[in-house]
Amino acid sequence: MVAAAEAAKSANAEAAWKMKLMPIKALDEKGEGDEAHLSGGIRYAIEHGADIVVLSLGLRRDAPGMRSVIELAEAKGVLLVAATGNDAADFGQHAAVQYPAAYPTVIAVAGAEDGQGQINSTGGPEVDLSASWQVDTLALGGGRLAMEGTSMAAPQVAAAVAMLRAAHPDWKPAFLRETLRRTAKDLGAKGRDDATGYGLVRADRALSAAFAADWREPNGAQQSASPFPPGTEVYSAWSGRLDTDWYAVDAHEDGMLSVRMQTNLFDIGPAAVKLSLYRPGALSPIAADGAGGGANATWKVSKGRYYLRADGSSRASPLPYRLTSGFRMLPDRTEPGSTQAAAYAIEPRTQTWSGTFDREDDKDWTTVKLPQAGTLKVTVETDTTRIDPAITLQRDGQAEVRTDTNGDGLPETATLKNAPAGRYYIGVSNAAAEGAPPVTGTYTVRLEYITTYADMGEPNDGPLTSAALVPGTAGILKGLIASKDDADWFRFKAAGGRYEWKLDGIPEGSTFKLTVYSKELKLLGQWSSKARGASLNVPQKLAAGTYYARITADRADRSAYYRFGVMNAD
């Protein structure tokens, strides 16, 4: 940083060394807050004269209030720098750049191990730059403190921005961002990547570099196209009437790609421009959605690489422009299924499907009609930390049961055991926020329908319909307690002697009760499995004659058979 400081000093010494810090507390004493607190803190900084706002924090979701204050910052010439987040260690490739770093006009800063390119932070298409992940800083009360994270990386970029702005106070935020991208030290694979962005921030290079609007040249063909990921910006210029610029756009999902072009950054007024999107090697462009094709265009794309061609006017003089891109998921197969009345019908079988949240407050409903009782198990997983999946299950005519136990990016499971035959509704939503915005990403639902066993011994709900037992293992019968009030009766004709009643296969969590009666239905004994687990063995001396055994339980369970029989113990 010595060379950078000297460069700043020589460029504008008085401004560079008389900068002021404006600490703003946007979180509570536990370091927690929400979109309103974060947006309020940024707005306060803008309204009180801040030139640069650095945010070593973020949210995993987009929010209208946040977008509004980011747009205000750009309009007021305030440059924002934000950390991408530290979710990669826990979520791997499912980790998504946090907000506000994910907005195109915010410099998104990832982390690099000792500046050498080993990334320990959240990456993604929105990443602009990287800075050292590990830092040695001053501790409160004296001494030094080692810290790590993108919260440490973002202030390094903010410091570089401050020096660059001091040297060029007339530059717009877009110029500052582009200069830092252009002068970054490339890390990892050649060129921009989702892990490091354009590379490691180099304040010394930025301060010694002259402004170059069209630094991405040569990019006059698909083969030399510059990277332009969805959700980012590009600032460039046409050198003259024959100049055409190409950009490579990688769509990570199926969806709608949108690009907006501005040519009035220098107050030179609008120009006749044209945007065209091509598949690799194609001679003809893809038809734009709607009117499109001018300064604002939208295309329906599939996952893969595309090439954007930007044509300017016939001006002979250079014409600067800025591109910003956005992406929106396509509706999934359950649409329109935003209500139970419009729920998408599925077959009553174990199956898997994927879905998207392509619009604000999107909830996807499916419906299934179970032909017989069984266990209904629904598991939802997501490929992005921007989704906090929630599951709503409802039997027709009954109350909803909502499951949202885990947090952002984590799976949820809801289970209905012993679900009676009938119609059920399954709702999947994003619980990341009330009225959650559209999300780039998908979720996957696995529905398991496990049919229950049938009690072949029924009807055996009384002495007159009791099932006959024969002593020995060959005479063991299977049964089910189909409802809490169900009672299974058995009869046994003893020759006299010692016998043992054997009851096993008791479902986990259930307590069974065995009651034995004489032929005249006189109570001879009663035993519970509460302290005995999954089996109950009861020895009993019986005189010759007929006896009845009654089995009940404290709960119904159709998921497994119990087994009951009587053995000779002599």
pLDDT at 269 over 50: no
pLDDT digits (tens, 9 = 90+) for 308-360: 999 876 565 678 889 999 999 999 988 888 899 999 999 998 899 999 999 99
Select from 233, 325, 322, 205 the least CA-distant residue to 273.
322
* Homologous superfamily assigned to 1-211: Peptidase S8/S53 domain (3.40.50.200)
pLDDT at 440: 94
Question: If DSSP states are collapsed to H, E and C, what string results for 446-463?
Answer: EEEEEECCCCCCCCCCCH
pLDDT digits (tens, 9 = 90+) for 501-557: 999 999 888 999 999 999 999 999 999 998 888 899 999 999 999 999 999 999 888
Least confident span in 140-144, 163-167, 441-445: 140-144
pLDDT at 268 over 60: no
Residue 10: pLDDT band with limits 50, 70, 90: very low
445 contacts: CB under 8 Å, gap ≥ 6: 352, 353, 354, 355, 366, 378, 379, 380, 426, 428
Select from 448, 451, 445, 256 the least CA-distant residue to 337.
445
Distance between CA atoms of 412 and 407, rounded to whole angstroms? Answer: 9
Domain boundaries, the chain: 1-211, 213-330, 340-451, 463-568
pLDDT at 270 over 90: no
Please indicate, yes or no, whether the overall pTM of this predicted structure exceeds 0.85: no
pLDDT at 543: 95
- Residue 474 DSSP symbol: G
pLDDT digits (tens, 9 = 90+) for 172-219: 999 999 999 999 999 878 899 999 999 999 999 999 998 887 889 899
pLDDT at 11: 44
pLDDT at 467: 94
Name residue 512's beta-bridge partners: 553
Q: Is 407 helix (H, G, I), strand (E, B) or coil?
A: coil
Cα 256 to Cα 238, 290, 330: the distances in Å are 27, 12, 7
pLDDT at 294: 62
Of residues 290 and 487, more confidence is placed in: 487
Least confident span in 109-113, 223-227, 324-328, 403-407: 109-113
Mean pLDDT throughout 448-455?
A: 82
User: Domain 340-451 carries which CATH code?
Assistant: 2.60.120.380
pLDDT at 7: 38
pLDDT at 304: 95
Does the structural domain 463-568 have CATH classification 3.40.50.720?
no
pLDDT digits (tens, 9 = 90+) for 12-69: 445 455 678 888 888 777 777 788 889 999 999 999 999 999 999 888 989 888 999 9
pLDDT at 116 over 60: no
Burial 454-493 (b: 16+ CB within 10 A, else e): ebebeebeeeeebbebebeeeebbebbbbeeebebbbbbe
Looking at every residue in the chain, the average pLDDT score rounds to 88
Return phi, psi of residue 549, to 5°.
-120, 135
Distance between CA atoms of 182 and 202, rounded to whole angstroms? Answer: 10
Query: Can you say how many angstroms the Cα of residue 534 is from the centroid of all Cα atoms in its chain?
Result: 41
Fold category of 213-330 in CATH: Jelly Rolls (2.60.120)
Of residues 492 and 3, more confidence is placed in: 492
pLDDT digits (tens, 9 = 90+) for 219-261: 999 999 999 999 999 999 888 777 899 999 999 999 999 999 8
pLDDT at 71: 94
Tokens of 76: 């007021």
pLDDT at 8: 39
pLDDT at 315: 61
For residues 241 and 316, the answer to whether their CB atoms sit within 8 Å is yes
pLDDT at 453: 76
Select from 409, 399, 400 the least CA-distant residue to 430.
409
Classify the phi-psi angles of 31: left when phi > 0, otherwise alpha if psi is within -120 to 50, otherwise beta.
left
Q: Is 155 helix (H, G, I), strand (E, B) or coil?
A: helix
Mean pLDDT throughout 367-387?
A: 94
pLDDT at 111: 92
Half-sphere exposure of 239 (CA within 13 A, CB side): 12
- Residue 81 DSSP symbol: E
| Same fold: 213-330 with 340-451 | yes
Tokens of 405: 């136990």
